[in-house]
Amino acid sequence: MSIQDKQIEALVERRAKARLGGGPKRIEAQHAKGKLTARERLALLLDEGSFEEFDMFVQHRCTNFGMDASHPDGDGVVTGQGTIDGRLVFVYAQDFTVNGGSLSKTMSEKICKVMDTAVKVGAPVIGLNDSGGARIQEGIDALAGYGEIFERNILCSGVIPQISLIMGPCAGGAVYSPALTDFTLMVDKTSYMFLTGPAVVKSVTGEVVDQEQLGGARIHASKSGVAHFAADNEQDAIAKIKCLLSYLPQNNLGTAPLRPTSDPISRVDDALNTIIPDNPNKAYDMYAVIRSVVDDGDFFEVHKDFARNIIVGFAHVNGRSVGVVANQPGVLAGVLDINASRKGARFVRFCDAFNIPLLTLVDVPGFLCGTQQEYGAVITNGAKLLYAYGEATVPKVTVTLRKSYGGAHIVMSCKQLRGDINYAWPSANIAVMGADGAVGVLYGKEIKAEEDPEKQAAIIEQKKQEYNDLFCNPYQAAQKGYIEDVIEPRNTRFRVARAFEVLEGKRQEIPAKKHDNIPL
């Protein structure tokens, strides 16, 4: 055997060993937890044969606490590039079978190289997180490594899509990288995120809580909003991410890929003409409206279980990717509160950063009142949504279906926040407040002056009718040019699709500035 043959044989053997990570026993332990290995996950995520690995032979440089006894190739993270449905992406997958996936300085260097390259070429970066946290044996070097990753997350923000999959533990400083990315997905029962674990919580606060209760997928998907998606298993998680990517562009200079559809924009839906109940306090299915308007009824919801009084997600209209924001009258009457405002603002800003037009469906009675909301800064949080819409320069089409009252009317992509084309259904009520509250303000003294209860009730009903006749329709707004047209509900898809066609070449700038100061 020649020297070259021996060298090639040694290379092949070393690659094979590196691909085994921590070895067969640790791989078995990973499988026993219902988890895939880093490489198995990448094989599911990427197109077959498309993965090209970077830095397979990188080793850690730590000599403390016996770490010099083992220097596995790859050092606990698999990095590289590949394609998803033919589109270039950059990936890193932490390998829990190697030192528990703990972050070393060299691991951070591998991750940062992938992120730097992704920015240079303008492609999404996807991180698969499965790590015990900072590698304690490396001390400040591990912390510096996290800092380097966080800085890359910040610099990448708004330039390329960043997606985090939490496939196992993610604790301490490790949670901040996913929190800085655009979308975070967690896997039920096998992943968790928290700053301090149950043992520390118990010692500091006395509270007894397990990992799932403290930072499981369902908790973060429904209560904190940290997770945008919760998956049943790792296969489901990867399928969701592939679907998400189909709505997104490669970077902030591009547009999302067109998706061919046989669904004509001229399709009408007679059911929309009767979907609004006669009783203004009765709910209806906003999802039915969304499905009627978008291509093929396909709607990919984001933050499905969090702040359910507002709906956000992606769809296609005439083949073009759009972001949908809609009040949900079936939950808290569609009122805006702290969490709904945060949820909506984050989504609107993402869409604006990546050139995804916005469709807003409005049925909002106002902001939620009470001390809990006021003490929790509903004012500031509501201002986030207002700011996001006012700042956005992508095409914005708004349809008011029913209620649009007070400050909430302004916040939901009104004309004054540079809404491009604003429509209303005939059932739209655009006013400072509803009739019940308005009559009490406008005619309170007159009502109180009438001592006869029957006459008092008659006055209230008369004034409510007068108020409803004046404001509980969209025509005052139309007369003043605050909406472009009052449309028949059955034609909503056609009018929305044509509006986005008209706005496709929209160009709008914001004043020159270093950066904005969104109310946080």
Query: pLDDT digits over 175-226, tens only?
Result: 999 999 999 999 999 999 998 889 888 899 999 999 899 999 999 999 999 9
> How many domains are there within the chain?
3
How far apart are the C-alpha atoms of 171 and 183, rounded to whole Å?
18
323/184 same-domain check: no
454/371 same-domain check: no
78/224 same-domain check: yes
Is 393 a member of any domain? yes
> Rounded to whole angstroms, what are the CA distances from 56 to 17, 19, 72, 164?
11, 9, 10, 22
Pick the more confident residue, 25 or 83: 83
Q: Which of 189-198, 224-233, 295-304 has the lowest mean pLDDT?
A: 189-198
Active site residues: 172-173, 407-408
Strands 396-405 and 421-424: parallel
183/315 same-domain check: no
Q: What is the pLDDT of residue 12?
A: 87
Q: Are 319 and 259 in contact (CB under 8 A)?
A: yes
Q: Supply angle C-alpha 504, 396, 322, rounded to 5.
A: 70
How far apart are the C-alpha atoms of 348 and 354, rounded to whole Å?
10
95/33 same-domain check: yes
Where helices occur in 104-233 by DSSP H, the ranges are 105-121, 140-156, 176-180, 198-205, 211-215, 217-219
Query: pLDDT digits over 238-293, tens only?
Result: 999 999 999 999 999 999 999 999 999 999 999 999 999 999 889 999 999 999 99
How far apart are the C-alpha atoms of 237 and 396, rounded to whole Å?
31
Domain end: 203, 228, 245, which one? 245
Is 510 a member of any domain? no
442/498 same-domain check: no
How far apart are the C-alpha atoms of 347 and 182, rounded to whole Å?
9
CA atoms within 13 A on the CB side of 120: 7
Give Cβ neighbours of residue 437 (< 8 Å, ≥ 6 apart). Answer: none
- pTM, rounded to two decimals: 0.94
pLDDT tops 90 at residue 21: no
pLDDT tops 90 at residue 172: no
104/201 same-domain check: yes
Cα-flanking dihedrals φ and ψ of residue 282, to 5°? Answer: -95, 140
pLDDT tops 80 at residue 427: yes
Single-letter residue type at 509: E
Residue 103 banded pLDDT, cuts 50, 70, 90 = confident
411/441 same-domain check: no
Angle between helices 338-353 and 378-391 (to 10 degrees): 20
pLDDT tops 80 at residue 377: yes
364/383 same-domain check: yes
331/402 same-domain check: yes
Mean pLDDT of the chain: 92
User: CATH code at 237?
Assistant: 3.90.226.10
Among residues 220, 218, 199, the alpha carbon closest in space to that of 210 is found at 199
Is 262 a member of any domain? no
Is 356 a member of any domain? yes
Q: What is the pLDDT of residue 13?
A: 86
Handedness of CA 495, 496, 499, 501 (dihedral sign): negative
Q: Which of 12-26, 264-278, 292-306, 311-325 has the lowest mean pLDDT?
A: 12-26
Q: What is the pLDDT of residue 407?
A: 93
Q: What is the pLDDT of residue 72?
A: 81
Range of the domain at 300: 270-433+473-505
Q: What is the pLDDT of residue 448?
A: 78
